Structure 1
Amino acid sequence: MKPVAIVQQIGHDTPDYFADFLTAAGIPWQLFRMDLGEPLPASIRAFSGYCMLGGPMSVNDEDTLPWLRQEMSLVQEALAADIPVIGHCLGGQLIAKAMGGTVGPVPMPEIGWSQIHLPESQDAERWLGGEQTVSLFQWHGEGFTVPEGARLIASSPYWANQAFVVGHKHLAMQFHCEVNAPKVRHWTIEERAEIESVQHHPSVSPADDILAGLERTIPQSNQWADRIYREWIKGLVHGA
C-alpha cells in the first residue's frame, strides 16, 4: 500500500494520535517537515492519502511561506484524483482555500475543549456516529468558510464552520482531534501567556483547567478521533 503523506508545518504541531492510529492499522505514512525546510512531494499520486496538520501561521501568508501554496496545489490534485484528504485546523483551512473558500479572523478565538455540535445528517452520522455533541480540542484565531461543493457537518457556539466534507472521502476540520496529552500540555504551558491574553472570551478555557482535565479529556478525544479516522481510511487508495 502506498503511504499516507503527512505535512507538519511547525515543530510543536506533530501528527501524534493520527500517526499512532495509522501505525496501529498497519498503514504506512511519510512525514514532510516544513519547519525543517523539507521539500513537499512533486505529486500526491504517489500516496494513498494526504494529511495536513496545524500551525500558527495564516493560510493567507502564502506569499511569504510559499510551501502553503504548494500544499493547496496538492489538495487540488488529490481532490481531482479522488485521493482522500484530511486537514486539522490550519490543514482544514488550506483545504477550504484550495477549493475557493476564504479564511480570516474569527469573532473570538477558541482555545481549549470545545463543544462541537453536529447536525442530523447522513454525513455527520457517518463521520461522528450521529452524536449531537462531541468535545474536541481547539486552538485557532482564524476560521474557514465552507466552499462550494462541500457540506458542513460540525459547528460550535463561537464559530459555525467547524468541519466540512467533500464527496465521501475528504474532511476539513477546524478542531484538533489528533492531539495527545504531551502536545496539549506543551502548548498550554509554553503558550500560557497567549491563553491569558484572551481569557476574557467565553470561548477560551483557563490554562489550569486544560491541564487538570487531561486524564479525562484525552481518552474521550481519542475515541472521537478513532471514529473520524476509521471513516477516512476507508477511502485510501490501495495498490503498489
Structure 2
Amino acid sequence: MKTALVLRHVPFEDLGLLAPLLQQRGYAVRMHDAGVGPLEDHLHPAPDLLVVLGGPIGAFDEAAYPFLTDTLALLRERLARRLPVLGVCLGAQLMARALGAGVAPMGHKEIGFAPLVLTADGGRSVLAPLADGTPVLHWHGDQFDIPAGARGLATTPRCPHQAFAVGTHALGLQFHLEADLSRIEQWLVGHACELAAAGVDLHALRAGAREHGAALARAADAVFGAWLDGIGAP
C-alpha cells in the first residue's frame, strides 16, 4: 500500500475533501501534528506522497516555531529528488521557500470566496476545472513568489500568485480547495481572532460556503484526482 505523510498545523485545517480521494487511490495516511514529537519518527519508511497543510503561522517564522526548520529541510530534500509533494496555503508557501522563492506579507488579508484567473499554463493544468469562474476559498495574509523553474498557474486581483507546479510531482495552492465547507463553522471558531481583527463578515462566509460548497467539492475531486493520477507522468 502507498503511504501519504500529512503535516497538519491546526486540527480543523485537515485533509478535508482530500481524505476520501487518497483512500480511493490506495494511500494509507500517516498524520503528523506539527511540533508534536519529532518529524523524523514519521519518515521511515519514506512516504510515497507528502502533503503539507495550512495554518495561521508564517512560512518564515522558524525563529518562533523551530519545527519549521525540519519541515523546510524535508521539503528541500523531497523536491530535489522530484518526489511527490502537495502544499496548501502555508504548505505551498513553505514549498516556495524550499525552492528558493520569497514569501512575505501582502499587507492585507484575502479571506472569502472569489474566482481564480488561470494563466495559460494553468488552463492546461489540473486546475482547468476551475476555469469556469467557480469561487474558491481564500484565507491568507502572506503570499509566495513563483519559484524559478515552476509554472505559475493562477492569480487573483488581490494576490497575483495563487498556484504553481513543478513537473507533475509538485503542486502548491495558496487557496483552500481541500476544505470541506460543510464544516466551515470549525474554521470560523478556530480563526475567530483573525476574522475579528480583519473585519470579515461571518455571515458572508457562511453564505458562501452554502452557495459554493457542492461545486467546490466537485472541483476538488476533479483537480486533486487528476493531480494524484498524473504523479510521475512525463
TM-score normalised by structure 1 residue count: 0.87
AA matched with 1:162: Q
Q: Look up the match of 2:207.
A: 212
Match of 2:123 in 1: 124
AA in 1 matched with 2:66? P
CA distance in 2, matches of 1:24, 1:3: 13
Shift, 1:133, TM fit:
3.0
Cα distance, 1:120 vs structure 2: 2.5
Match of 1:87 in 2: 87
Query: 1:30 deviation in Å?
Result: 1.0
Per-residue deviation, residues 33-71 of structure 1 (Å, max 9, x unmatched): 115x13213648711111000110111111221221111
Alignment of 1:40-189 (within 5 A): 40-41=39-40, 43=43, 46-121=46-121, 123-129=122-128, 131=131, 133-189=133-189
Query: CA-to-partner distance for each residue in 1:111-152, whole Å, 9 max, x for gaps?
Result: 11121110223x432212262534211111111111111110
Which whole-Å CA distance do the structure 2 matches of 1:7 and 1:129 have between them? 27
Identical-pair percentage: 29
Deviation for aligned residue 1:159: 0.5
Within 2, Cα distance between the matches of 1:24 and 1:215? Answer: 26
SS in 1 for 2:94: helix
CA 1:104 to 1:47, structure 2 compared with 1: closer, same or farther past 3 Å? same
Moved segments of 4+, more than 6 Å: none
Residues 210-219 or 47-56, more deviating = 210-219
Gaps of 5+ in 1: none
The answer to which of 107-116 and 126-135 deviates more is: 126-135
Aligned partners of 2:3 and 2:28 also within 8 Å: yes
Aligned residue identity for 2:58: S
User: 1:230 & 1:38 partners in 2: Cα distance?
Assistant: 31
Mapped to 2, the partners of 1:81 and 1:72 lie a distance apart of 14
CA contact (8 A) 2:5 2:51 kept: yes
Match in the other structure for 2:226:
231
Distance 1:180 1:229 in 2: 14
- Counterpart in the other structure of 2:217: 222
Paired residues in the alignment total: 230
Q: CA RMSD in A?
A: 2.1
Aligned residue in 2 for 1:16: 16
Once residues 157 and 44 of structure 2 are traced to their aligned partners in structure 1, the CA distance between those partners, rounded to angstroms, is 36
Alpha-carbon separation, structure 2, partners of 1:194 and 1:74: 29
Relative to structure 1, the CA distance from residue 193 to residue 70 in structure 2 (aligned partners, 3 Å threshold; closer, same or farther) is closer
Unaligned runs of 5+ in 2: none
